[in-house]
Chains A and B, each alone.
Chain A
Amino acid sequence: MELTLWTYEGPPHVGAIRIAASMRDVHLVLHAPQGDTYADLLFTMIERDGRRPPVTWTTFQARDLGSSTAEMVIETLRGACERYQPQVLLVAESCTGELIQDQPGALAKGAGLSAPVIPIEMAAYTRKENWGASETFYQLVRGLLAGRVPKPGEEVAARSPERPPSVNLIGPTKLGFRCRDDVIEITRLLASMGVDVNVVAPLDASPRDLLRIPEADANVNLAPEVGDLTCDWLRRQFKQPTISTVPMGWGATQDFIAEVSDTLGLEIDPKSIGGSRLPWYSRSVDSTYLTGKRVFIFADGTHALAAARMARDEMGFEVVGLGTYSRERARDVRALADEYGLQALITDDYLAVERAVAELQPELVLGTQMERHIAKRLGIPCAVISTPAHVQDYPARYSPQMGFEGSNVIFDTWVHPLIMGLEEHLLTMFRDDFEFNDGAVPSHLGAEGGGSQQPESVVPMIAPEPSAVAWAVSAEKELRKIPFFVRGKARRNTEHFAMEQGLTVIDVETLYEAKAHFSR
């Protein structure tokens, strides 16, 4: 039993719904009670989908238990087949369905349905949403393609020289982070290299499209949380190589171009393939203030890894914390954290993440919606880089994270929560001016509710420790001369320092001693 306030991932059957909802002509029957139908709103409200997820629920009740739940499954399967006429019917159960052991997969196989059935085992009590998505997609691809796997010794037909090289984009889904725009961006990027996209899946694919997967020269594993298992199977069975660089960030996009070229045997100069404004924006003088900004990163594995590289190598930040809730990606994240001299935070305990942020006091948090709330409580700027996401993370505008435009978008997204170079300079100059008082929030943060606009229900989850040291009036006065946006940090550092030194009163000297101590 595990105490949970917020969860980073939903249950595995929500992952199954993500696959069904991403695709066309697939229908999912879930053996689950009525309350589980809330999952519809993830798609229709959070992602504003105009289509209900293609899911029919058995919605059994207590009175059905022990007698008629198995009949309900068969009835529901028949009804769904008749009404929706899917090319493939997926069958799974939610956590409660799993407990009553009706085995809907077996029931479906024996029900003489008009559509081919692919049952998915969900393991609701050990697994989570991304696993469920990955497993469902894998079972679907395997179920459709297993009969077409080349026999041992049989050669896969070579692509005819008239046809341009092509790849599949594997992994993007509904409720992923900016998947819709990433697919567009990467398709454009590949087109500029003369590479066709054969199939994008699961997003917008039909089962018939999945049958064409083997026709491509390689698979781009665009969302490893969902695509790993499938890409691996395709590599083993169809000898399709996997392109595993996730093109997120300027450097990663260069690497991606190189990997695609290598894999497909193309002669391409990466410099000839469009470009990004990120390198120049990062080198322009206004960005010098970004140097060494302490950032904390927590996201799904893919976005955490990409963000860490961008933060250090492309923005000039100092990464002070790196972690993920994706246990499947723990090894990769640990390896990168090692390289950065950090201890990776691998957890799905929201409170552990909050403690880490509170201890590290970073100047910028790059995280999920959960970290946005942690950061808000702690008064730290934050940008959302990964799911779990909220309605605002599905913007109307084109805002990919991948490719060159993606790196532009990310540059803006990370810089906006910070006080910009020019603004920082002006704030210092005019700090006693009435418009630049302590309550004034950077102009662009008006909506983020800094300053005095804190929501009434905001209570720190971790109570601030009562300070054991007192501030002399003179020191307090001196402290107020420090610009407000670093004052909190100065106060904490000074108190920390004073306690370490065993002081009970902080005077002006202590303040400057502490400043010297922490400036290293």
Chain B
Amino acid sequence: MSQVIARAETHSMPAVATERGERAVFCGLTSIIWLHRRIQDAFFLVVGSRTCAHLLQSAAGVMIFAEPRFATAILGERDLAGMADCHEELDRVVSELLARRPDIRRLFLVGSCPSEVIKLDLANAAARLQGLHENRLRISAFSGSGIETTFTQGEDQCLASMVPDLPAAPEADQRLMVVGTLADIVEEQFRRHFSLLGIDEVDFFPASRADDLPSVGPGTRILLAQPYLSDTVSALTKRGAKLIAAPYPLGVQGTLGWFQAAAAEWGSAPDAVREALAIPIARAHKSLAKVKESLQGRSIHFLPDSQLEIPLARFLRDECGMSLLEVATPYLDQSLMADELRQLGEGVSLIEGSDLDSALSRVRANRPDLTVCGMGIANPLEAEGLRTKWSIELIFTPIQGFDQAADLAGLFARPLVRERQLEVGSWS
């Protein structure tokens, strides 16, 4: 493991309580929605049921996308009863698909709950199909099933499935690999900022083109842009890459800490980083100050959903003055979250897992000013007079980096501003 910049603050870690019970989260298939916007020549073929297809089109309101680069191969009774050979059927469906979409450079076969339960080996299928379409495109498989993955973990599985395809990097080259889906505009900003720090050897993974695969080797330094990438990190470290321990680039402090951690690997001191990035930092503080007024002193409760809860909570408390009533996350990787947990410190009610009804009871009892939750729960809480922020927006909106810090705070401020402004009654 690389050298981690010693932090001045040495807070104790918060205690984590575990809850088990009913969960109200999307499955990993949902990741396809943002992954297919990011990797613009990739196609995601879910092998699953009508439910999977219905989820994809409902969950993200994706009917707005005219031309989807995802589809579902729906298993029918014939497939389940063994009357049709699933692999032959899959070959047929893939040929049909590729004939219609010659522009596709990468195909992901995406496993679902039904395909996992019937033990359909999609990795094997991908290898076989790769043989059939060898010079045409790359084909790999990952699971987005709800029995194995929660919401953002689908991205983790997708990226991990691409790691074996990354070319080997020369031993001596030290390169930075920023891992996790980011909006193009954020990638461009980050490239400019890295350049100010004298780091030009930067790759983003995934890139917007499927064929732009960064090389990986012992010189690779991983900097995570998203916190939910445990399996991807372990696949990359197996190929020699080293993870830079860092906070996540949410808010001014998070982003600064993130750049400082990376720059330390290139021999820059924290103060030098702060100086080099003084202009975007000042700009971020200035625009954040305006939004902060609406958040200062307000309370917030995170229901478990996106796995972004911990860095978001840290940002909203430390930079926006909010108080944290409860921070729940569906799954907690202590090592990837170590930096964030240290900053969060003791005294925060932190929960891993979910028991929906009891969590909602606590929300009703505590009546936070704002509850962060999944889309299915938001309006019912609003109807009870509680203000909410639905968390999927946090995934679709560019929120990372200095210039997005105020936008991020704005997502939380808007429901509160709206509450002050509206002079109408409530749901009846």
A56 adjacent to B22 (CB under 8 Å): yes
A125 adjacent to B113 (CB under 8 Å): no
CA distance A402 to B114 in the complex (A): 40
Over the window 372-416 of chain A, the binary record of Cβ atoms lying under 8 Å from chain B Cβ atoms (1 yes, 0 no) is 010011000000000000110000000000000000000000000
Stretch at the interface among B70-78, B173-181, B340-348, B396-404: B70-78
**Residues in chain A near residue B90, CB distance under 8 A:** 1
A1 adjacent to B51 (CB under 8 Å): no
**Residues in chain B near residue A125, CB distance under 8 A:** 49, 75-77, 80
Q: A3-B97, A95-B113 are in contact. Are A65 and B147 (CB under 8 A)?
A: yes
Q: A1-B74, A3-B96, A37-B25 are in contact. Are A10 and B376 (CB under 8 A)?
A: no
**Residues in chain A near residue B50, CB distance under 8 A:** 4, 7, 9-11, 95, 124, 128
Residue B63, interface by CB 8 Å: yes
CA distance A313 to B379 in the complex (A): 42
Residue A256, interface by CB 8 Å: no
A303-327 contacts to B (CB < 8 Å): none
For the complex formed, measure the closest distance between the CB of A367 and the CB atoms of chain B, giving whole angstroms.
13
Residues of B in contact with A, size category:
35 or more
B71 adjacent to A35 (CB under 8 Å): no
Residue A36, interface by CB 8 Å: yes
A35 adjacent to B146 (CB under 8 Å): yes
Q: A38-B59, A457-B65 are in contact. Are A96 and B378 (CB under 8 A)?
A: no
CA distance A370 to B53 in the complex (A): 14
- B54 in complex: contacting residue of A7, A65, A79, A370, CB < 8 Å: A7
CA distance A46 to B57 in the complex (A): 12
- A44 in complex: contacting residue of B23, B59, B75, B378, CB < 8 Å: B378
Q: A35-B146, A124-B49 are in contact. Are A1 and B54 (CB under 8 A)?
A: no
Over the window 99-110 of chain B, the binary record of Cβ atoms lying under 8 Å from chain A Cβ atoms (1 yes, 0 no) is 000000000000
B93 adjacent to A3 (CB under 8 Å): yes
B93 adjacent to A35 (CB under 8 Å): no
For the complex formed, measure the closest distance between the CB of B21 and the CB atoms of chain A, giving whole angstroms.
8
Residue B26, interface by CB 8 Å: yes
B376 adjacent to A44 (CB under 8 Å): yes
A51 adjacent to B383 (CB under 8 Å): yes
Residue A52, interface by CB 8 Å: yes
Q: Closest chain B residue to A44 by CB distance?
A: B379
For the complex formed, measure the closest distance between the CB of B367 and the CB atoms of chain A, giving whole angstroms.
17
CA distance A496 to B269 in the complex (A): 70
For the complex formed, measure the closest distance between the CB of B4 and the CB atoms of chain A, giving whole angstroms.
33
Residue B117, interface by CB 8 Å: yes
Q: A50-B427, A65-B117, A65-B147 are in contact. Are A41 and B59 (CB under 8 A)?
A: yes
Residue B66, interface by CB 8 Å: yes
CA distance A376 to B64 in the complex (A): 11
Residue A347, interface by CB 8 Å: no
B65 adjacent to A38 (CB under 8 Å): no
CA distance A507 to B80 in the complex (A): 59
Q: Closest chain B residue to A33 by CB distance?
A: B146
**Residues in chain B near residue A157, CB distance under 8 A:** none
B147 adjacent to A11 (CB under 8 Å): no
CA distance A2 to B50 in the complex (A): 10
B67 adjacent to A100 (CB under 8 Å): no
B148 adjacent to A61 (CB under 8 Å): yes
CA distance A50 to B383 in the complex (A): 5
**Residues in chain A near residue B375, CB distance under 8 A:** 40-41, 44-45
A336-380 contacts to B (CB < 8 Å): 369-370, 373, 376-377
**Residues in chain A near residue B71, CB distance under 8 A:** 3-5
Residue A425, interface by CB 8 Å: no
**Residues in chain B near residue A51, CB distance under 8 A:** 380, 383
Residue B357, interface by CB 8 Å: yes
B73 adjacent to A95 (CB under 8 Å): no
- B23 in complex: contacting residue of A34, A46, A79, A377, CB < 8 Å: A34
Residue B328, interface by CB 8 Å: no
**Residues in chain A near residue B23, CB distance under 8 A:** 34, 37, 57, 59
Q: Closest chain B residue to A368 by CB distance?
A: B63
Residue A103, interface by CB 8 Å: no
For the complex formed, measure the closest distance between the CB of A27 and the CB atoms of chain B, giving whole angstroms.
12
Over the window 6-47 of chain A, the binary record of Cβ atoms lying under 8 Å from chain B Cβ atoms (1 yes, 0 no) is 110111011000000000000000000111111111111110
**Residues in chain A near residue B377, CB distance under 8 A:** 40, 44, 52
Main secondary structure of the interface of B (DSSP, over half): helix
B379 adjacent to A2 (CB under 8 Å): no
Residue A60, interface by CB 8 Å: yes
**Residues in chain A near residue B165, CB distance under 8 A:** none
**Residues in chain B near residue A128, CB distance under 8 A:** 50
Q: Closest chain A residue to B50 by CB distance?
A: A11
CA distance A48 to B375 in the complex (A): 11
A1 adjacent to B96 (CB under 8 Å): no
**Residues in chain A near residue B97, CB distance under 8 A:** 3
Q: A2-B74, A41-B375, A99-B114 are in contact. Are A33 and B54 (CB under 8 A)?
A: no
CA distance A46 to B58 in the complex (A): 9
CA distance A205 to B137 in the complex (A): 55
Residue A501, interface by CB 8 Å: no
CA distance A50 to B379 in the complex (A): 5
A455 adjacent to B66 (CB under 8 Å): yes
A33 adjacent to B113 (CB under 8 Å): yes
Residue B150, interface by CB 8 Å: yes
Q: A33-B113, A41-B376, A96-B147 are in contact. Are A124 and B51 (CB under 8 A)?
A: yes
**Residues in chain B near residue A1, CB distance under 8 A:** 47, 73-76, 79, 84, 86, 89-90, 92-93
**Residues in chain A near residue B28, CB distance under 8 A:** 35
Residue A486, interface by CB 8 Å: no
**Residues in chain B near residue A4, CB distance under 8 A:** 50, 53, 71-74
Residue A273, interface by CB 8 Å: no
B66 adjacent to A376 (CB under 8 Å): yes
B1-60 contacts to A (CB < 8 Å): 22-30, 47, 49-51, 53-55, 57-59
Q: Which of B23, B25, B97, B383 has its CB near the most chain A CB atoms (within 10 A)?
A: B23
Q: Closest chain B residue to A127 by CB distance?
A: B50
Q: Closest chain A residue to B89 by CB distance?
A: A1
Over the window 197-211 of chain B, the binary record of Cβ atoms lying under 8 Å from chain A Cβ atoms (1 yes, 0 no) is 000000000000000
**Residues in chain A near residue B58, CB distance under 8 A:** 10, 38-39, 41-42, 46
CA distance A54 to B31 in the complex (A): 27
For the complex formed, measure the closest distance between the CB of A350 and the CB atoms of chain B, giving whole angstroms.
10
For the complex formed, measure the closest distance between the CB of B190 and the CB atoms of chain A, giving whole angstroms.
23
CA distance A83 to B79 in the complex (A): 39
Q: A373-B66, A458-B66 are in contact. Are A3 and B73 (CB under 8 A)?
A: yes
Residue B365, interface by CB 8 Å: no
Apart from the given pairs A36-B146, A51-B380, 14 other A-B contacts in the complex at a CB distance below 8 Å: A2-B76, A7-B53, A7-B54, A10-B50, A10-B58, A34-B25, A37-B24, A43-B376, A50-B379, A61-B148, A62-B148, A83-B357, A96-B114, A391-B61
Can you list 8 pairs linking A and B with CB atoms under 8 Å apart? A1-B84, A3-B74, A4-B73, A9-B50, A11-B49, A57-B23, A96-B51, A461-B67
Residues of A at under 8 Å CB distance from B?
1-7, 9-11, 13-14, 33-46, 48-52, 56-62, 65, 76, 79, 83, 94-96, 99-100, 124-126, 128, 369-370, 373, 376-377, 390-391, 455, 457-459, 461
Ranked nearest first, the 8 interchain pairs of A and B with the lowest CB-CB distance are A35-B27, A35-B146, A40-B376, A50-B383, A1-B89, A50-B427, A95-B49, A96-B113
Residues of B at under 8 Å CB distance from A?
22-30, 47, 49-51, 53-55, 57-59, 61, 63-68, 71-77, 79-80, 84, 86, 89-90, 92-93, 96-97, 113-114, 116-118, 145-148, 150, 357, 374-380, 382-383, 427
